[in-house]
Homo-oligomer: A and B are copies of this chain.
Amino acid sequence: MNSDIKKNRMTDVVLTILKPDGAPLANQEVTVEQTNHKFLFGTAAFDLVPLTSGDYSGEKKELAEQRAKKIAALFNAATLPFYWGRFEPKRGEPITEKVKNAARWSLEHNMVTKGHPLCWHTVTADWLLELSNAEILQAQLDRIHRDVADFKGLIDMWDVINEAVIMPVFDKYDNGITRICKEHGRINTIRMMFDAARETNPTATLLINDFDVSSAYDILVEGCLEAGIKFDVIGIQSHMHQGWWGVEKTMKVLENFERFNIPIHFTETTLVSGHLMPPEIVDLNDYQVTDWPSTLEGEERQAEEAIQHYKTLFAHPLVEGITWWDSSDGGWLNAPAGLLRKDGSPKPAYDELMKLIKGDWWLPPTKIITNINGQIQLSCFSGEYNLKYGGYKETFTVTKEGASNNSQFMIHMKNIEK
């Protein structure tokens, strides 16, 4: 696996550093350091909405600030909440400004933002139930146009549709989205939602997302692709409240989607640090407990599984992102799924992921002597880098493409005094 990580994530680059007069900066010590990953190490960051909107005060605010700081130290991507029923509980009164605050905070902290989700049958707006199917569809499309436009520049990545596999057959309760999906079919519903999002923000990264990892999902993806729908990313949830999938199942799931040759995000990754949810539970939402404690033993298991899961996914050439769900304990299902405990302290899994993301898979500030041609050689992860010399700084980007072309980075150190 480590050799796959090297092969799929690292690039050998040669940088040529020139002085202002164009002559090579020969035999000098420069410092190179990574400042960001291209790979998206993300987390559900719903807590940022109340925090950045002034909804917390006192100790609550302090704790939320600490959590946010820890999140930003580890992750470079944030999934922000667009559950329609909560985003626009009363028709015409969306909480756009609040979520914009969270998006701005994320961007300021070098976190790529994603909106989740634009169309889903769960936690959707209750007021849809009073509309006709044609009106529901129009409201859904209007909502996509409005929100994708409102957040353009603040959020340019969207889970456009969530859980379309069960969408038309979802029978736990009546809801507007199941109604329209039943009428129009999955593929046409997906097509309409993607068209709406694409029209409004043509360069956005648009995902289909699902928890279903049976053949049903990859068959749906195949059907959509054959019908001409363009996904930028295939999103795969992996809520493992009932136990870690293990490497074998994870690889099997990946294998089912490899043939499409489309980037993959693991959009919702859960590993609990307490007891496992009983295997007989089919819909995770059915497991309602008042207390689900994080345990010492559970935290060790969670840390080990997190390491294995991230290593497995980071090694796969098509995976371009992993999102942890939730960052702190006590979120969805009251599960001990956080990397942080309720008191904000980091669990072993947090520390272990830090060791990978900002350790093994990261180039810390490193001093290198240029050769006689002003060149240095590096083997580094795709991402953003600083190159420093004296009091000067240049930035550069490393991608896989750079390596495949054996490209050279020409860097002008401006205003260098000999």
Q: Are A222 and B222 in contact (CB under 8 A)?
A: no
> Which chain B residues border A224 with CB–CB below 8 Å?
223
Complex Cα spacing A215 to B182, Å: 13
Complex Cα spacing A188 to B223, Å: 10
Determine if A251 is an interface residue (Cβ-Cβ < 8 Å). Answer: no
> Which chain B residues border A256 with CB–CB below 8 Å?
169
A346 to chain B, nearest CB (A): 40
Interface positions of A from 221 to 266, Cβ below 8 Å from B: 222-224, 226-227, 256, 259
Name the residue of chain B whose CB is nearest to the CB of A224. B223
Name the residue of chain B whose CB is nearest to the CB of A165. B215
Name the residue of chain B whose CB is nearest to the CB of A260. B185
Cβ 8 A contact of A227, one of B182, B188, B223: B223
Complex Cα spacing A186 to B212, Å: 18
> Which chain B residues border A185 with CB–CB below 8 Å?
222, 259
Knowing A165-B215, A215-B169, A256-B169, the reply to whether A187 touches B220 (Cβ < 8 A) is no
> Which chain B residues border A165 with CB–CB below 8 Å?
215, 219
Q: Are A219 and B214 in contact (CB under 8 A)?
A: no
Determine if A378 is an interface residue (Cβ-Cβ < 8 Å). Answer: no
Q: Are B259 and A215 in contact (CB under 8 A)?
A: no
Complex Cα spacing A223 to B165, Å: 12
Q: Are B223 and A187 in contact (CB under 8 A)?
A: yes
A337 to chain B, nearest CB (A): 27
> Which chain B residues border A222 with CB–CB below 8 Å?
185-187, 223
A174-188 vs B: 1/0 string, CB under 8 Å?
A: 000000001001111
Name the residue of chain B whose CB is nearest to the CB of A171. B252
A149 to chain B, nearest CB (A): 28
Determine if A131 is an interface residue (Cβ-Cβ < 8 Å). Answer: no
> Which chain B residues border A188 with CB–CB below 8 Å?
226
A225 to chain B, nearest CB (A): 9
Cβ 8 A contact of A219, one of B182, B219, B259: B219
Highest count of chain B CB atoms <10 Å: which of A166, A222, A224:
A222
14 pairs, CB–CB < 8 Å, chain A vs chain B: A166-B215, A182-B259, A185-B259, A186-B219, A212-B215, A214-B216, A216-B216, A219-B223, A223-B223, A223-B224, A223-B226, A223-B227, A226-B226, A226-B227
Q: With A185-B259, A186-B219, A187-B223 given, can you name 8 additional A-B contacts, CB distance below 8 Å? A: A169-B215, A182-B259, A187-B226, A188-B226, A214-B214, A214-B216, A219-B219, A226-B227
